[in-house]
Amino acid sequence: MALRYDYSRSAPIALPGGPGEAAVVPRKVASFRRPTFNAGLAGLVTALVGMSIGATYLPECMPMAIEILAIVATIPVTTIAMVLSVWRRGELASWWKYEEW
């Protein structure tokens, strides 16, 4: 979702045409900035590294299964990283209202 949002902010959005109109399909996607996607990816890596360090050095403090811990750790950290990224750029309202047709 973050990658599609970043792409929609950098490329013109093609509106659907009428019946019988030719569709323009690009052969290559142009390069575009992906700050929201990169922030989400950084949040994911941070959560996974933090979870791995915690599971290695504090095993008695982490009685949950490692899979459950990974889900519990990655979802909020990744979401917070993306929210902070769009908030910092002043696009929070646009990101919140973003929808695909």
Provide CB contacts within 8 A for 100, sequence distance 6+: 4
Long-range contacts of the stretch 51-54 (C-beta < 8 A, 24+): none
DSSP state of 60: G
Report pLDDT for 100. Answer: 78
- The structural domains of the chain, with segments of one domain joined by +, span 2-13+24-97
Report pLDDT for 2. Answer: 84
The lowest-confidence range among 13-17, 25-29, 82-86 is 13-17
User: Between 19 and 101, whose confidence is greater?
Assistant: 19
Average pLDDT over residues 62-70: 68
Mean pLDDT of the chain: 82
